Copies of this chain bind each other. A is one copy, B any other.
Amino acid sequence: MRADARKNYDHLLEVGREVIAEQGVDASMREVARRAGVGIGTLYRHFPTREALLETLLRGGFDAVTAAARALETSAASGDALVTWLREMVALTYRHRGVIASMTAAIADPGSALHASCVELRGSGARLLTRAQADGQARTDIDGVDLLALVSALAWLNDQPPFAARVDGLFDVIARAIRS
């Protein structure tokens, strides 16, 4: 990549992160280009679709949680490990408003650039769940998909102004239900 292109690429990512932090994942691509002081065509040259920009922005955070989950797999208390994962997932979505919608869309669409990261994320939670279930630390009538659904639901609540303040308490309700 040419030096000027590299500079634009990096700057677009930086500005993109800023704008998404302010306005959520539905922020306008044109707005990103404008703020980056770059033609809209330049943005689309580097990121052929808005999902492509989002993907580059979000993958890091997703993979970090997956990595953290790997570490949790060998921790002592399997029930606590599971709840810690839940908490990290909610925190992840807290950092980027609306990200959970991107995640469920990516899971549903194998063609999405975020698909692999999301499937791994789900797998990391599923392994923690299985271990907790084997230890009698989690109810056995749910699986990894249900787990992701429950954490996604909490994340969604976090994005809804009338409910955001309740998420801490609701987290406990859900966490206790999972540990039953």
Contacts and interface: CB of A to CB of B under 8 A. Distances in A.
Contacts of A170: 146, 149-150, 153
A105 to B, nearest CB: 9
B149 A157 contact: yes
A108 B173 contact: no
A150 B137 CA distance: 23
A177 B166 contact: no
Majority SS at the chain A contact face? helix
For chain A, which range describes its interface: under 10, 10 to 19, 20 to 34, or 35 or more residues? 20 to 34
B169 A160 contact: no
A147 to B, nearest CB: 10
A141 B142 CA distance: 24
B177 A162 contact: no
B163 A145 contact: yes
A149 B174 contact: no
11 contacts: A104-B160, A142-B173, A145-B166, A146-B170, A146-B173, A149-B160, A149-B162, A149-B163, A153-B156, A173-B177, A176-B177
Nearest 6 pairs of A and B residues by beta carbon? A153-B153, A177-B177, A149-B163, A104-B160, A107-B162, A108-B161
Interface of A: 104, 107-108, 139, 141-142, 145-146, 148-150, 152-154, 156-157, 160-163, 166, 169-170, 173-174, 176-178
